Amino acid sequence: MCAKRLVIISYGFVAKQFHCKLIRSSQCGIVLHGIMVRSEASKEDVRRDFGGDFRIYDFLEDVLQDKAVDVVLVASPPNTHFDIALRLLQSRKHTVVEKPLTLTLAECDQLIQTAKDNDVLLTAFHNRRFDGDFQTVNQLIKSNQLARVRWVEIAYQKAGISSKMWKNESINSGGGRFYDLGVHCVDQLLALFPQPIQSVYCRLHFDFPTAPNIDSHAMIVVTFVDGVTGIVDCSSTTLAEKPHFYIVGETGTFVKYGFDPQEDALVKGIDLNNLDYLQKESEKYNGKIYRANGVQETVPTLLGRWLDFYDNLGDVLHGRKKELFIQPESLRKTMAVMDAALRSARTNQVINFE
């Protein structure tokens, strides 16, 4: 089996700490072929991390013309995703894009159509689908342990402005909590509840005096046609976090604090083959189901595995499986909600969803 050769566009935090480590640790049949960077400082980083013979591309055109390249990961800032991904798809390169896929629904639709026209794969790295806490919630709902679920809250909160440069751009450029964390939570919400959506409402705050164009708090309310309410709450101003997941069913309420440990482990350089250490969350963060009779049931968190994303991508590229975990249709639905949420925030109106 010939390995599929992957090139990364840009060598920032997520490329260094996530993608390079995941690709190297996966047995998916994908190898890291090269990285496109422009600055001399970034090139020195690549040479230091990969050696002097590693392939470095100066321009996107060089990547497009290299017939040895099978798949490209776009890990550049969000406001560049659309233009780069469009060129890649037009050149018949399989394309993976860091979240968010695009900044508008119209851009998303154009990428999906271009991928279809050129018979190439298009997906986005929604790694939070492979978090252990999300997998736990998904199993609880699918196994009917809470009976009929009526209310869901997913909160992702950190205090202060991010130190990462692109996150400090204006919301129109893809910065702030709305696009950084909100898109993760919306993607999770829609993966849990595939039923049709009735409406979307969003409230954005801009409370940083030194950064007035960065959203400091984003709340998105999604109402489904069957009456289920989903709330996404992402903030940079809270000093006391809310539960990460708060799920209200007819026979129980599930409450879960804490976040998946895989990101911290990757940043610390933990061996990805040390699965117990990497994936197993501390027992103090186990969720609980609260019952009407006063009983509290502890729910151990399932193991998460971000490597599943690349294993699946490799299986599809090599023809071992037909479907991507993160398909264009689900990407479009997430972007449609984000698009409606922005319109709602700007008009202070509930947006009827089509």
Q: Are residues 151 and 203 in the same domain?
A: yes
Q: Considering the domain boundaries, does residue 254 fall inside one? A: yes
Q: What are phi and psi of 116, to 5 degrees?
A: -65, -45
pLDDT at residue 254, rounded to an integer:
98
Q: Are residues 143 and 265 in the same domain?
A: yes
- Per the model's pLDDT, the better-predicted residue between 42 and 159 turns out to be 42
Task: Round to whole Å and give the CA distance between 300 and 323.
Answer: 30
Here the CATH number for the domain that contains residue 105 is: 3.40.50.720
**What would the pLDDT profile of 263-306 be if each residue is shown by its tens digit?**
988 888 876 666 555 567 888 999 999 999 999 999 999 999 99
**What would the pLDDT profile of 226-235 be if each residue is shown by its tens digit?**
999 999 999 9
pLDDT at 325 exceeding the cut of 80: yes
- Residue by residue, DSSP assigns 255-311 as EE-S--SHHHHHHHT--TT-HHHHHPPPGGG-EEEE-TTS-EEEEPPPPP-THHHHH
Q: Which of 99, 125, 151 is the last residue of a domain?
A: 125
3-state secondary structure at position 348: coil
What average pLDDT does this structure show over 320-339? 96
Average pLDDT, the chain: 92
Q: Are residues 121 and 132 in the same domain?
A: no
Q: Which of 108, 125, 142 is the last residue of a domain?
A: 125
Q: Are residues 209 and 345 in the same domain?
A: yes
Q: Which domain holds residue 44?
A: 4-125
Q: How many domains, in total, are found in the chain?
A: 2
Q: pTM score, two decimals?
A: 0.94
Q: Where are the alpha helices (DSSP H) in the chain?
A: 13-14, 20-25, 40-50, 60-65, 81-90, 105-117, 132-142, 176-177, 183-192, 262-268, 275-279, 307-317, 328-347
pLDDT at 184 exceeding the cut of 80: yes
Residue 21, token pair as written in the block: 């480590």
**What would the pLDDT profile of 22-75 be if each residue is shown by its tens digit?**
998 888 899 999 999 989 999 999 999 998 789 999 999 999 999 999 999 999
Q: Considering the domain boundaries, does residue 311 fall inside one? A: no
Q: Considering the domain boundaries, does residue 78 fall inside one? A: yes
**Residue 237: which pLDDT band, with cuts at 50, 70 and 90?**
confident
3-state secondary structure 62-106: HHHHCCCCCEEEECCCHHHHHHHHHHHHHCCCEEEEECCCCCCHH
Here the CATH number for the domain that contains residue 273 is: 3.30.360.10
**Residue 172: which pLDDT band, with cuts at 50, 70 and 90?**
confident
